[in-house]
Structure formats: structure tokens, C-alpha cells
């Protein structure tokens, strides 16, 4: 990847990754976009413009910490959509499916999962009687967990009250020292809250881009499907 620019501004088919995602989200008139920025964040802000909301995360302590930084903003909304900027290809149709099912079910937390045919360093989806009961980060999975191919891709739609309840209780991971938002799945399951998992057939939609190899793979997929 190009270390001269912040990761979200790395070009994918001549357009920054974050612009792909922002353009899709802006198709929804009821979504206000907030970007959590950190390393070289002013470059991201300058590129995307002043129409969006920005929250600065000085120290990179995980997604849970990023959410903590935006708590005062989160409190203004009923539901919060949380997407990673390095997974730019999620479609309008998939977001609409996530939203519609979340509202229809009155879910506490809705999220994407997908089956990946190769290794990705994502949390594994843990099911009991076909219901999702937990999502475990790769660093914490045992040998059986490594065999699970259904992965949690860190795309969420969460009731803001439940989200704030979680982030006010979460603690840093004992090894990474980061605050993992992934832990909210088990937290809500243990509370008896309704979880809504939405399966994405085309895993490329929700795949994060972390290497030049990933970038070329997604570019090839775009060419193939004329996305």
C-alpha cells in the first residue's frame, strides 16, 4: 500500500477507497456521514470536503475507542451505522437490506457476515442452534475456531442506546490493548437483545483491503462484475 497517503485515500480504480464508500452512503438521504480520522486525517478531511462530520481520534486504540470518541454525536441518533473505510465495495442493495431487516425486526444490532474461500484475519462467527451468539477475534480463537469460514466483517447497524451502554463498559483487550467493538455481539447476546445477522453472498463486497494484493484482487473483481 502507498504509505505516503492515509489508507482510506489509497486509490482503487483511480478513486480513493473511502470515496467509493462515501458515494454509496450518500445515496441514502437519511444518513449523516461521520468520518473518524486520525493519522494524516486532515488530508482525508480536505479530500472529502466540509459537508461531512469529522471526529478526531488522536490515539489508534481500536474501533471501540473510535466509537467512544463520537459518543456525543451518537446520542443524537436512534441507530448508528458503523463501516470500515477500507472495505469500499459494499453495495447500496446490501446496505438497504441491512437497514430494512434491522427496522422490521426492531433489532438491537444488525451486522454482515460472509463466507470467505481464503484466510482473512477477521473475527469468526460463533453460532449455537444456528443463532449467532458471539464473534471472536482471530487473536482469541482456538484450533476449532480457525476452521470457521463464516467471518464477521465489522459492518454494523446498532441501536444507539445499546451502543453507548456497551462502550461505557468495554475494557481494552489484554493483548492488543485496543477496545474491540466486536465484543458487543456477546455483550448484547448475554443481555437477551435481538441480534440480526445479514449474510452477504459476494464476500468481495465486505472484504477489507490491506495489501497491494488485496487491492489488485478487488480491482479484478470490479472489472469482472463491472461494478
| Segment 53-99, tens digit of pLDDT | 999 887 778 788 888 889 999 999 999 999 999 999 999 999 999 99
Cell of 41: 486525517
For residue 64, what pLDDT is reported?
86
For residue 227, what pLDDT is reported?
44
What is the CATH class of 7-225?
Answer: alpha beta
Q: Which residues of the chain have a pLDDT value below 70?
A: 1-3, 226-227
* 156 burial type by CB count under 10 A (0-12 exposed, 13-18 middle, 19+ buried): buried
| Segment 201-210, tens digit of pLDDT | 999 999 999 9
Task: Report domain extents, the chain.
Answer: 7-225
Q: CA-CA distance, 92 to 39, in Å (whole number)?
A: 28
- Cβ neighbours of residue 46 closer than 8 Å, sequence gap 6 or more: none
Mean pLDDT of all residues in the chain? Answer: 93
Predicted TM-score of the model (pTM): 0.93
Q: CA-CA distance, 37 to 44, in Å (whole number)?
A: 7
Contact 46, 35 (CB under 8 A): no
Amino acid at each position: 500500500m502507498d504509505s505516503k497517503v492515509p489508507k482510506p485515500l489509497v486509490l482503487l480504480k483511480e478513486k480513493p477507497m473511502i470515496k467509493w464508500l462515501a458515494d454509496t452512503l450518500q445515496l441514502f438521504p437519511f444518513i449523516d456521514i461521520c468520518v473518524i480520522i486520525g493519522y494524516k486525517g486532515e488530508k482525508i478531511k480536505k479530500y472529502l470536503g466540509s459537508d461531512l462530520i469529522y471526529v478526531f481520534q488522536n490515539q489508534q486504540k481500536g474501533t471501540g475507542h473510535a466509537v467512544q470518541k463520537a459518543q456525543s454525536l451518537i446520542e443524537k441518533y436512534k441507530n448508528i451505522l458503523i463501516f470500515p473505510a477500507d472495505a469500499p465495495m459494499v453495495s447500496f442493495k446490501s446496505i438497504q437490506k441491512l437497514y430494512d431487516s434491522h427496522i422490521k425486526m426492531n433489532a438491537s444490532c444488525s451486522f454482515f457476515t460472509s463466507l470467505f474461500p481464503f484466510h482473512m484475519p477477521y473475527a469468526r462467527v460463533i453460532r449455537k442452534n444456528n443463532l449467532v451468539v458471539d464473534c471472536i477475534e482471530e487473536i482469541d480463537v482456538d484450533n476449532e475456531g480457525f476452521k470457521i469460514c463464516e467471518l464477521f466483517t465489522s459492518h454494523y447497524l446498532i441501536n444507539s442506546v445499546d451502543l453507548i451502554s456497551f462502550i461505557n463498559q468495554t475494557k481494552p483487550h489484554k493483548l492488543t490493548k485496543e477496545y474491540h467493538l466486536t465484543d458487543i455481539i456477546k455483550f448484547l447476546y448475554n443481555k437477551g437483545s435481538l441480534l440480526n445477522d445479514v449474510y452477504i453472498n459476494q464476500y468481495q463486497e465486505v472484504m477489507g483491503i490491506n495489501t497491494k494484493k488485496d487491492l489488485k484482487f478487488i480491482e479484478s473483481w470490479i472489472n469482472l462484475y463491472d461494478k
